[in-house]
Amino acid sequence: MTVPPGERPRSFPASERLRTDREFREVVRKGARLHTTHYTVYRDFLGGEKRQVGISAGKRAGDAVARNRAKRLLREFYRMHKGVFPMGTRTAIVVRKPPEGAVQSSVCAELLPAILRRWGGEGDSPCGPDNSSSAS
Rounded to an integer, the average pLDDT of 42-64 is 91
Per-residue pLDDT at 70? 93
Query: pLDDT: is 14 or 21 the higher one?
Result: 21
Q: For 65-111, what is each residue's pLDDT tens digit?
A: 999 999 999 999 999 998 899 899 999 999 998 778 888 888 999 99
Say how far apart CA 92 and CA 108 lie, in whole Å: 16
Longest CA span, the chain: 42
* DSSP β-ladder status, 89-95 and 32-35: unpaired
The angle, 0 to 180 degrees and rounded to 10, between the axes of the packed helices 104-119 and 64-80 is 60
Q: Identify the CA nearest to 14 among candidates 23, 1, 4, 25.
A: 23
CATH topology of domain 21-117: Ribosomal Protein S5; domain 2 (3.30.230)
Per-residue pLDDT at 9? 60
The number of angstroms, rounded, from the C-alpha of 93 to the middle of its chain's C-alpha atoms is: 6
Per-residue pLDDT at 12? 82
Per-residue pLDDT at 1? 45
> H/E element holding 91?
strand 89-95
CB atoms within 10 A of CB 108: 20
Domain ranges of the chain: 21-117
Q: Are 18 and 54 in contact (CB under 8 A)?
A: yes
Q: Are 1 and 10 in contact (CB under 8 A)?
A: no
Q: For 90-100, what is each residue's pLDDT tens digit?
A: 999 999 987 78
Q: Percentage of the chain with pLDDT > 70?
A: 81
